[in-house]
Structure 1
Amino acid sequence: MATQRIADEPAYVLHRYDWSETSLILEVFTRHHGRVAVVAKGAKRPSSSFRPVLLPLQPLSLTFGGDGDIRTLKSAEWVGGHVMPTGEALLSGYYLNELLMRLLVRDDAHAHLFEVYAAAVRLLASGEPSALQWALRGFELILLKDIGLLPALNAQTLTLKSLGDDEHYALVPEAGLQWVPADDRHALTGRQWLALQAALDDVHPMTALVRDCGDLLIQLQRPMRLMLNYHCGVGALRTRQMMLDLQTL
């Protein structure tokens, strides 16, 4: 149920739409209320205090009110913390936003996922060479786990049989984790899947994934792409296709 007034709510802007000649509708991801739609009246005016603040991938503090599907934004403040990602990291941030737009319903709180998203954005902004893959794959895994779409990675999904340390398994969208021949190029060993599950179960899963499973995350690019396309009901996510198109220029 919508709350009348929310003050000083940590949030990030996911997407924006024109609402009128001077105003915007924003989709924001908040710590305590999940994905919320707000109208920022007058935000397109050059003199608006909203104009320099309502940027994507920047930590904000919002106050908004109303009891409809679209609330009214009362104030917005940038809380600082990191610079805006640039280049490929910026597109990767837009990709994270697209995932949240497609997979989260409005007004469904995901406080833990909010913290993971903030950590992923900080990784993207860090400029570390491997940070992009770590941020994307780690966030994808944790997002699917948080909304109940990732099967347990410590057992075969259909049979619930334990994983053999040196056997090979692949993550299949329709069937979960299943045994495959060793020459399957997208397979990981049982020991590797168990390490990923242990990291996901950590109190700070993004930190644990990067610390303990950085090399494994990079190997999950195609399996995670297939999983996300399946659950989003698309052949390719818009931002991912944009990144691929830019790489071919």
Structure 2
Amino acid sequence: MNETQQAFLLHSRPFKEHQLIIDLLTQYDGKVSAVISSGHSLKANKKGILQPFSLFSLQLSGKHSLKKASQLESCHQPIMLAGNSLYSGLYLNELLVKLLPENIPCDGLFFSYKQVINQLNEAVQIEPVLRYFEMQLIEELGVSFDFSALENNRGELFQFNVEQGFVEASSDSKSPIFEKQHLLAIAQENINDPNVLNTHKRLMRQMLNHLLGYKPLKSRELFIAREKKT
């Protein structure tokens, strides 16, 4: 702490008078919660820095879990995501806030997030970008998919069990069913085929729902509501 590092704002909420609590994804310290003034002492240009998806530098101080943020400086022009890219960015931020433990360095995930935000800003195909980051996140959390069990199994349809991994599909199970060829394509990071991409989405949804304790995500609800209007 106390050294200058880069960060992204994930979420902010009011705290005491003229103060905010900000949840950050930082370059050196992972996810950090910090308090910062939101009153006259924080100049207008500094308020503009505290925008989601925009990279800035800062210093963090304090011995407790809630740090004090200071010395904010913008690192580049603000990124203004729009449309599906915006909702996708909000989704990733919510995942990080809810799943990532605090004050544990995760520099690889930080740079993956930075790359993904730039890709969303460039309006590239969104689904593969989201699946890539979701995989990076669950690996950071210490969980992953073991696809090796599929290679020597003659079955063609499988289900994923959090404790057992991939098992042959059972007709009396309510879990999603996946085609083996799609799962092996995911293992090889070959997800350009729309069917494979759909399988990957359903597989990640199952894993993330488990990690979230099956609690709904506000960003998903916002996206669904937007889709209904269009």
Interval containing the TM-score (normalised by the shorter chain): 0.7 to 0.9
The corresponding residue for 2:136 is 142
Residues 234/83 of structure 1: CA separation in 2 closer, same or farther (3 Å cut): same
Output aligned runs, 1:4-43, within 5 Å: 5-7=2-4, 9-42=5-38
Distance 1:194 1:153 in 2: 7
Paired letter, 1:179:
E
Q: Is 2:196 aligned against 1:214? A: no
Displaced runs of 4 or more, over 6 A: none
Paired letter, 1:125:
N
The corresponding residue for 1:246 is 226
Q: Is the 8 A contact 1:24 1:44 kept in 2?
A: no
Q: Is 2:29 aligned against 1:51? A: no
Paired letter, 1:193:
L
Distance 1:192 1:20 in 2: 51
Distance 1:83 1:42 in 2: 21
Q: Is the 8 A contact 1:137 1:218 kept in 2?
A: no
Measured against aligned partners, the alpha-carbon deviations of 1:159-211 in whole angstroms (never above 9, x if no partner) come to xx7355x8343434454222238xx984132x543443344xxxxxxxxxxxx
The TM-score normalised by the length of structure 1 is 0.79
The corresponding residue for 1:187 is 178
Paired letter, 1:91:
Y
1:76 to partner: Cα distance: 1.5
Q: Is the 8 A contact 1:173 1:226 kept in 2?
A: no
1:233 to partner: Cα distance: 0.5
Distance 1:235 1:30 in 2: 26
- 1:196 aligns with one of 160, 170, 186: 186
Percent of paired sites with the same residue: 25
Q: Is 2:61 aligned against 1:65? A: yes
Greater shift after overlay, 51-60 or 14-23? Answer: 14-23
1:111 to partner: Cα distance: 1.1
Q: Is the 8 A contact 1:11 1:60 kept in 2?
A: yes
Q: Is the 8 A contact 1:23 1:44 kept in 2?
A: no
Measured against aligned partners, the alpha-carbon deviations of 1:81-104 in whole angstroms (never above 9, x if no partner) come to 673211221111011011111111
Distance 1:43 1:88 in 2: 32
Greater shift after overlay, 145-154 or 97-106? Answer: 145-154
Output aligned runs, 1:95-134, within 5 Å: 95-128=91-124, 131-134=125-128
Residues 49/70 of structure 1: CA separation in 2 closer, same or farther (3 Å cut): farther
Residues 140/247 of structure 1: CA separation in 2 closer, same or farther (3 Å cut): same
Distance 1:171 1:45 in 2: 52
User: 5+ residue gaps in structure 1?
Assistant: 200-211
Measured against aligned partners, the alpha-carbon deviations of 1:17-36 in whole angstroms (never above 9, x if no partner) come to 11133221100001211101
